[in-house]
Structure 1
Amino acid sequence: MQDLSLEKAVDLLLAHCQRVTAVEEVPLISALGRILAEDYIAAFDNPPFDRSPLDGYTFAAEETAGHGADKPAQFKIIGEECAGDFFDQPVPAGCALRIMTGGAIPKGCNCVVRQEDVTVDGDTLTVPFSLEPYTNFCYAGEDIKQGTKLAKKGTKLTAAHIGVLASMGFATVRVLGNVRIAIASTGDELLQPGQPLAPGKIYNSNLYLLASRLQELGFAPEVVGILPDDVEAAAKVIQGYRDRVDVFLTTGGVSVGKKDIMHGVVENVGKRLFWRVSMKPGGPALAYTMGETLGIALSGNPFAAYATFELLAVPVLSHISGNDKILPQRTQAVLTDDFPKESKGRRFIRGYYENGKVRLPEQHASGSLFSMVGCNAFVDIPAGTGKLAKETEVDIVRLYRVK
């Protein structure tokens, strides 16, 4: 199949990938970004006891009724409790307990007074004012009630989720297995950053761009490196990942030039699903299956690779991982700039979206990298559209951004 619409290409990709269902139990401390495989429910109140929010003294507030500066209330101090201690007996009438922040408020007490506001002489506490019951009093379950759903199945764990689960005593969590992704670039013209720049060579930006974007989206790709412009050699490397990864991503080698090797590679390793998507840039995208592995080969031009990664590959990764939050979101916006080109075919251009408006950069070439900095949206221009004037309402695709 070839010359598919973007939507049909995505549907075809989704039909050839499976959502991760394997479950593993991992230490909570290393679970950031993982997807929960089950709901997590609070087994107890948090805090699990009434506690003091400050350093001071606790007693029955009713015993200060009618007292003030001219007639202070007095209590006998019968002990001291720090956070982590537990005073396991009721505090009798007329008595008080010195208590530190986080300490459990014992039976017989229902308020806490700051130590700076009272006076102490030996074991006698003098309180020169009256207090209402439950003054400076933190209730058991004030943060989380027993039975509260802490995080539901399918949640991508953030630092806050992990803190909440830790506060409830969970040392491990059951999560979905990681999506296995390998990524490589093709092209004898490519050098890795750090190597001396030679005539006719360029540095491999695509590998760094897309590997980093995968990490932003919460994945941990295996970076294969640069594949040579040789069908048999490249096919041997890619074949080695058959059924070892869920998705094998490549950039370059998908057009019709002498060294566009991915067509031959696919013939060697698997079955082609489609070639060419009716869009610009990145139209000559190639997709294939290799056993249980889905291969997506993108254009070598940096913006073309990035655009087709977001529009073709991210929906696949969202489906496999069960994380729909990373999906591009469609909406409308108003152009703040003219776009002076006609669009014979469907075109996606980069933009900077904010508050219902989208600003365009000066440079739109598919090989341009610098104008991608800060890009958070694509303007989706239908085929047959003429020049666009500023203030025109357009359809845009907002890209997922880590908050």
Structure 2
Amino acid sequence: MKKTKFYLFIVLCLNFLHETNSQSVSNDLIILRNVTIIDGRNNFMPNMDILIKGSKISSLRKSENHSYADSIQVYNLSGKFVIPGLIDSHVHLGQLGIHESSDRTHQEFRKWLYNGVTSVREMSGDARLIAYENRLIAIGKIPGPDIYYSVNYGSPDMVKKDLRQKKQSLGTTNEKVSWFQEAYPGMDIIRSIARAKGTGATGIKIYAGVDAKVIAQLSEEAHKQGLKSWSHLTVFPDRPLDVVKANVDVVSHVWGAIWQDPDVDPSLKVPFTHTSFQEARNAIFPQDLSLLNADDPQVALLYEEMIKRQTIWDATYNIKSSEKRNLYKKFLVEASKMGVSFSTGTDIHNDPESPFPSLFDEIEALVNDGILSEAKVIEAATFHGALAIGIESTHGSIEEGKTANLVVLSKNPLENIENIRSVVTVFKNGKEYKKSE
């Protein structure tokens, strides 16, 4: 009898512990119920439940015949669509007056996050300030996307003259900072990349006036030290094909492809610096745009090399000039037909008067101008953005075990890409950010 009572006591204790543990697990779970998943990898999955545990997607399952404990937070989202967190793969936080005040920058952060932009790739800025803001976001002091920033490389002439970089090195000089460095033959590559890594950057960015052989050396060492290699598609003096062959991971801007046309010669251009913005604009285009042929065989060779090396093209397509945009369109349509992979970078600050980030304009332009389909542009704005940053194993698609960066939409973006604006709520690292807040 005593043994029976003892065993009964043990069973009751185990049941109590099991119930307590189940309750704590339940409290840590969030269910997005009966949604249609557009997963960022061209998969469309209706009638699904997404189980979020902590900051991760713990499970994806069909909605039928599943009941959940009352202690679990369940969002009944019938008729809603869920896409991965969006990624703007080309932003410039360092040019938003962040040196004087963080107010405008924090407005940008909120506009991004509450519209579903959960990650951004920062392409030139004061690493001291960007790292500080990124820390505030990481510890929950301010809402915003995760920031993956770069260290810029340019010719010695550029380092001396670039006006923007002088702002980004306040308190010291361009020549002394680690986040903006000279690149030239014979430089100490290992030490230079180590300095870049020490800033907390995710990658290096090759800007202007760097020989393709030096770019290859920088890329090789960056990869060895765990950094990504990012570059303008044309850096001058070499053609873009040489830049791609230098084994960079991502190339930026459509205008770079122009210089693969044999009718123009990038070696005749002085590597551009921002002593004035007009000077920079003039420097990146040939004088006679009518010479350019988007379907030239040499341009096709560039795209073939990009496909072979799985180079991501951060196109920054949506510009105001109709003449240049029509030219850009011709180059991107050809590249898309051949199978080049794109990410969605803007290189444009968010309009303070608009409730939406400029990323939506970029996404819509790529679809409306016949460059990418709705499904392909979502892939570009999610999984390809993660590839560009180097976080594709944990971000960029809706898969079990990945980070719970999710955007809930009220309308189907595959039917009309403008439905990307129909944001109901956003989850970043498993935490909800309601659009109405």
Shorter-chain-normalised TM-score: which range? under 0.3
* Structure with the higher fraction of residues in helix conformation: 2
Give the number of the structure whose alpha-carbon radius of gyration is greater: 1
- Taking structure 1 as the reference length, the TM-score comes to 0.27
